[in-house]
Amino acid sequence: EDQVTQSPEALRLQEGESSSLNCSYTVSGLRGLFWYRQDPGKGPEFLFTLYSAGEEKEKERLKATLTKKESFLHITAPKPEDSATYLCAVQDLIQGAQKLVFGQGTRLTINP
């Protein structure tokens, strides 16, 4: 059974203090790993997709990396507007349909 575990559950940083969020996964065959951002009371917003170990993607202050067992979301010099819950999900195929298995999320707070 596919499993996704994110750590830490919550993280508080000062503005400008860089850090990383972790997503560990077990899946029979990784077809894709997705990162989403979710603001309180809203739907998840897509950030990145990674497909193979060694792949990296960047967007503004965020950079996602992938190994065979985990993915990291690095946040460099964060700002208060980066505060949100960050969700990681792995893609599986069930009867030809895409299924995402989500971790529980990391709640990130950036203090000014």
Partner 1 sequence: DGGITQSPKYLFRKEGQNVTLSCEQNLNHDAMYWYRQDPGQGLRLIYYSQIVNDFQKGDIAEGYSVSREKKESFPLTVTSAQKNPTAFYLCASTRGQGNIQYFGAGTRLSVL
Task: Report helix, strand or coil for 17.
Answer: coil
23 belongs to the binding site for partner 1 (CB under 8 A): no
* Closer residue to partner 1 in complex, CB, 36/110: 36
Site for partner 1 in 31-70 (CB under 8 A): 31-32, 34, 36, 41-46, 49
Please provide the DSSP assignment of 37-86 as one string. EE-TTS--EEEEEE-STT-EEEETTEEEEE-SSEEEEEE-S--GGG-EEE
CB atoms inside a 10 Å sphere around CB 47: 17
24 belongs to the binding site for partner 1 (CB under 8 A): no
Q: List the one residue out of 80, 103, 110, 101 whose CA is nearest residue 27.
A: 101
The span of 13-21, 57-65, 67-75, 85-93 binding partner 1 (CB under 8 A) equals: 85-93
29 belongs to the binding site for partner 1 (CB under 8 A): no
Please confirm whether the linkage preceding 44 is cis (ω < 30° from 0).
no
* Closer residue to partner 1 in complex, CB, 44/78: 44
100 belongs to the binding site for partner 1 (CB under 8 A): yes
Q: Rule CB under 8 A: which residues touch partner 1? A: 4, 9, 31-32, 34, 36, 41-46, 49, 87, 89, 91, 93-105
